[in-house]
Structures are given as structure tokens and as C-alpha cells.
Chains A and B, each alone.
Chain A
Amino acid sequence: MNSVLPLMAGIQLDWFSLPQQLVNGLVVGSIYALIALGYTMVYGVLRLINFAHGEVFMLGGYTALLTSYAMGYSPDALRKAFAEGRDVTSSPLNLVIMLLVAMAVCAIIGAIIEYFAYRPMRNQSRIAALITAIGVSLFLQYAGQLFLPSNPPPSVSQDVNPYQAVYTKVFSEAVIGEGGKVIRPAVEVTITQGRVIMLITVVVLMAVLTYLVMYTKTGRAMRAASHDFDSASLMGVNVNRVVTATFMLGSALAGAGAMMLTTFEGTTLQPFFGVLPGVKAFVAAVLGGIGNIPGAVLGGLVMGLAETLVTWLGYSQYKDAVAFVILILVLLVKPGGLLGSNKVEKV
């Protein structure tokens, strides 16, 4: 029973797969949200679009990969282990270590980038700072191309990754008529264990972030700095420390996202891995109202859902454009983004 939307004659909509697509969208969107948080926090404090954020994300993926290699899941070690018949199934501890190492390394990389590239630009024009960010991003991409392996074998490979296990929730059974003809396909949602872990981790990370920003001294300083940078520094807030903390927090979130995306979704790594998610997350941040933390999460989810829905409609080739179309439509109506406030300039 495929129904046809009157506006889009000819497109056959498969309503029965919609729940599944929504779940997919949620997963993708949560990763976008995680990256978008980094963009929005840095923007909130420094008014700087940190174009290198996507590259920090990429480096997070590589860190997780190399960590798993170091723990004995490198292709060579795995081959040897299989030959000897040892059990090499990865344990949750491995995952936790990979996640923490990726987050820590990304935090450090973020702090280094801020110290060496952005701090000297702080009193310069914003466009100069933006170009520096583009420079850092280009440098990391192409230096990565020189020093990092392209398309390396996945970190915890399919053979030893128990997180590919599938949960299925059937909402209604398929109705099969005479001769095996499907009258109505089943409505069911399938989700891998990895994705469940991913969603839970994202929620936990966001809760931790909320706690850090809302209830700690550094968080309060961060909010003060993002409200008014100069006044905050006059009030005795150590703005340099706040900026470093912001970069570390945002980068750590990107690292976590990259680790989960590469490990659970099996996305192959390459030095330009961070570009597309980076741009989309940035768009998500602007969509939600850049500088606004709940806005970034909302924007990320909207972006992820929109992408999968476009795929569901049968326009998968326009998947990468829909982000921008939504963005432009929203900005035309609400120039400050979904949750952002549109400040009126006063003289």
C-alpha cells in the first residue's frame, strides 16, 4: 500500500520503512550534534568559526584507531591471533579506553591549535582569524595525507566486534497473501548494539557537558565570557584559561564522536574524513543559532533527520544539499537561527 504524495507525483513512499529511517536519522543527527557543540561553544566565546574542528574530528578517529591497534587489534596481530585460534573478541573495556584516549588526545590537539594559531589572532580582525582557521584546517588535512595511512583497516574489525549484534523490534508482522506475495511489509526497527551504545554515550556526554557548563566555576566563567568577553576579563575571569577549556571540551566531544562513528558505523578513515561531517555540523550549529548550546543539539538532530528523510524520499543524491536548503530557509525566517536571538544593533 504505497501512497503517493499529491505534490510529488511519481514518488513512491515506503511508509513502512519510515520508523527505521527516523532511528537512522537520530543516530546520524546525534553525531552531528556532538560535533556542532564544539563549533558553537568556540563561537560563543571567541566569535570564531573554528574550521579546523572537522580536522580535530578526523584526528580523533585516527587516535581511536591507533589505540585499538596498540591494544592488539592491529591487522597483523589479529591475523596471527586467528591463526593461533585465540579469542580476540573486543571487550567493553577496549571501547572505554579507545573513547577516553580519543577524547584526551583531541582535547590536547584543540588546546595546541588554540595556543599556537588562534591566540595570536585574538585581537585581529575576525576575517583574519577565520583565514587562519582555514589555514590550520588545510594544513591538518594535507599533512595528514602525508603522515597518516589512508583507508586503514577498521579498528575493531567486523570479526571481533560484538557490537554489530542486532536488536529488532517488530511493531507489526508482515502480511503475506497467497503465493508468498507481500501484501503489507513488516513495520520494524532494527538497531545495532553499537548504535545503542552510541546514543547512550551521546546522552551521557551531553549531560556531563551541561553539568560542566551550568554548575562549575569554569562553566560559569565560560558563560560569562560568551556573554561579554571583555567585561568577563575585567571581572577577573582568566579568559585565556576559559578559551583553552572551551577548545578542550569541544574537541573532546568531537573525538568521542569520531571514535564512535569509526568503530560502530565502520566508516573508513582518510585524511579528509572530517570535512563533510565538519561542514554539516557547522551548518547544524548555525541552524540552531550559533553560540547556543541547546541550539547545536537541536540543529544536529534536525540535520540528521532531514538527511535520512531526503534519502527516504528517494533523493539520496541531494543528501548533502538539503542541509544548506534548510539552513537558508530557516535563516530567511529567523536570521538568528532556531534558538538564537536576533540582536538589534544599537548605536
Chain B
Amino acid sequence: MSLGKILGKRALSILAAVGVCVLAQMVLTQSVDGFMLRLFFLGGLYVTLAVSLNLINGITGQFSIGHAGFYMVGAYAAGLSSNYFFPRQSLDMPAYLLVSVLIGSVAAAIAGLIVGLPSLRLKGDYLAVVTLGFGEIIRIITLNQEAWGGSYGYNLNHKHQSLALVFLLAIVCIAVCRNLLKSAHGLAFLAVREDEVAAQAMGINLTKTKVVAFVVGATFAGAAGALFAHDSGFINPDLFKMELSFLILTMVVLGGTGSITGSVLAAATLFLIPELLRIAKFEVSQGVLLGVLVAVGLMVYAIRLVERTFHGEKTQKSLLLLGAVVLPYVVMFGLGKLLETYTILGDKFYKANDLRWVILAIVLLVVMLIRPSGLFGHHEFSWDWLKSKMNRRAVEA
């Protein structure tokens, strides 16, 4: 293929992506309500965040747990610059959005450079602590800037929810990571993850690779932050606490460290759990909740037991696993109901909204204990993989 053809293909795919995003925005704004729109918006943001952290953490193997810091730098840089350059209230063209996304990502990239540089000296957990510390330091400094609203938060003049831009950002982020992995540079990233010394011996520039990973990852997080700031029109340092970093890291690991597909899926699922529980309308008593908690523990234990000890036929194993999943719930739910009826544990009820984070934590623990390498492991979704799977199934049948 000649260069012209490749470029033509690139341009075509970029145009197609833009078209799809604009179309998606048009369709969605017509068909769903504000709450759902925000879910789509946040989904796009979290996918971007998870995939960009995956580049640092999963693909390059640099243990970073300060991603919320880059996100925050992007959000504040975008918010401050947007108010500075476009002080006038109602601007029709979202040109300011593009400008501030640019500024946000550049600011975050610089932050990524600053954090990436010490990573040359530090390894593993020490690097993790430094990134964590970076996030906290930035947050506390912002908290004490009177001009930036301090702990009261910062109001933006412009408020604009651009679904198309968020989708585009997510797609670009995924595409960059995916294409990177197919290039020689991407292989260098993977080599650094597997063994730094060996990678260096093979002539890979460790410094460059690590810093590039940090800068690219931070850039995307910063752009996401800029979009987030303009979506809500209000930013507050408390929105970017280390819990957020942990959440993004969890998405990456749960999806399978290094797997882009996994990051996307895990990001979508994990962010949806608390958001959907926010509107869910069920109540559980303390007794039933206790029962279910014990049931989850029993389930994990039973599944692990089956996995470890049973080496028989496949159908039998599936049946056993089904039993391991269902039985604890049946028993413990019944027990919980009894507790609810006959003891004081039936006095207090919890709304679904109160259970958001407990359920998130439990999902996290269950997935980690049953599938420690994450949902996808190191694998990626691809059509070839699907085809081979289908073929195998056809042959078996």
C-alpha cells in the first residue's frame, strides 16, 4: 500500500469516527432524557480515563495510582482558561470547548512529564506512592487557592455537554492505544513492562518510553477533565480525590491489565453500578443484607473449591458451578428473611442508594478472587478471535 493510500484510509476512518460521534449525539439528544445523556457522557469519560491509565499501567507496566491528578489538572486548566479567554456568557459556537480541551490536555501533558521524570529512578510501589502523592499535592494546593474558589469550587462561565466530543475522545484514545500496540513503539512499551533490564539490553530507550507513556496517558486524562469541567460548569477539588484514582485503576485491573477491550468494558460496567443504584428503587433490611454478604463469601469460596478440586466433565463442572453460585443465595436469603422477621435486624432498612459503594466493593472483590487476571487477562477482542472461537464451536458440534 502506498503512503497516499494509507493516509487516505486514515483520513477516511477519522472522518467516519467524527460522523459516527456527531450522529450519535444527534440521535441520543433526540431520544433519551437528561439523566441518560449524562450517563452516556460519563461513560465516555470513564472509558477515556481507564484506557489512558491502561497505557501507563497495563501496557507500560508503570505503577501509577494518581490518574485523578491529571484529570484534575485538565479540568482546572480548562476551566480557568475558558473563563479567562471567553469571559462573555452565552457563546453559541462551542469553539471555546475545543480551545480549552487543547489547553487542558497540554497542561495535563506537562504534569505527566513532571511525574514521568521521577519514574526513571523509582520502581513499582515507590513510583505508585509518588504518583499518589502528586495527585494529593495538586488537590491540596488547589484547595488553598482563593482565586480558584478553594474548597468552595470553581464556576465556569460556559456550560456545554458535548457528547460528540466525548465519544470522539474515547474513540481517539482507544485508537491511539490500539495502533500504538501494533507499532514498534508499542512493542517497546510491552517490553518495558515485561522486563526493564532485558528491554534496555535490546536497545530500548527506557527513559523515552516511560515518559512518553506518562505524557500520552496524562494528555487524554486532561482532555477528559476539560470536557468534564464544561459539562457540569462547576469543579471542586473534592471531585478528584484519590478514591477516583483507585476507581480508575480498578477499572484497568478488573478488565485485565493491558487489555484495551477489558478496560473499556470494565469502565462501562463499574461506573454504571453506582449510577444505576442511585435511581434503583429497592430496599433491603439489615438481616437480608447480612445474609447476602455471607452468601457472596460462600459463593466465592464454593466456586474456588470447584475450580481447584473438580477435574471431570465440562457439563458436570458447569452444573457444579451453577450450584455454587445459586445455592448460597437461596440458603442465606432465606436465613436473612428469618432474621428480618424474628430479630431486630428487620428494623432497619437500606435504600439501594445507600448500598452503592458496598456493592461496588463486593463486585470488585468477587471478580478479583474468581478471576485474578481480570475479565480479559492480556487478551483483546478482535474479529479473528471471535471467528476462531465460532469455528471451534462449529467443529465441536
Contact = CB atoms under 8 A, between A and B. Distances in A.
Interface of A: 43, 47, 49, 116-117, 120-121, 124-128, 131-132, 134-136, 138-139, 141-143, 145-147, 279, 282-283, 286, 290, 317-318, 320-321, 323-325, 327-328, 331-332, 335-337, 345, 347
Interface in B282-317: 286, 289, 293, 297, 304
B358 A325 contact: no
B297 A116 contact: yes
Nearest to B371: A128
A323 B136 CA distance: 10
B393 to A, nearest CB: 29
B118 A142 contact: no
Interface string B67-101: 00000000000000000000000000000000000
Contact of B361 (A120, A125, A135, A321): A135
B357 A142 contact: yes
B141 A146 contact: no
B350 A146 contact: yes
A325 B136 CA distance: 10
Given A124-B372, A146-B350, A332-B118, A321 B257 contact: no
A131 B358 contact: no
B155 interface: no
B358 A142 contact: yes
Nearest to B304: A120
B203 to A, nearest CB: 15
B369 A117 contact: yes
7 contacts: A49-B125, A124-B372, A128-B368, A128-B374, A142-B357, A286-B126, A325-B133
Label chain A's interface by main secondary structure: helix
Given A128-B253, A332-B121, A143 B126 contact: no
5 tightest CB-CB pairs across the interface, nearest first?
A324-B133, A139-B361, A124-B372, A138-B361, A321-B140
A134 B257 contact: no
A135 B289 CA distance: 18
Contacts of A145: 354, 357-358
Contact of A142 (B125, B361, B374): B361
Interface in B25-75: 57, 63
Contacts of B372: 120-121, 124-125, 128
Contacts of B276: none
B163 interface: no
A134 B141 CA distance: 25
Contact of A283 (B123, B133, B196, B355): B133
B108 to A, nearest CB: 19
B133 A117 contact: no
A127 B140 contact: no
B15 interface: no
Nearest to B125: A49
A331 B357 contact: no
Interface string B364-384: 110011001110000000000
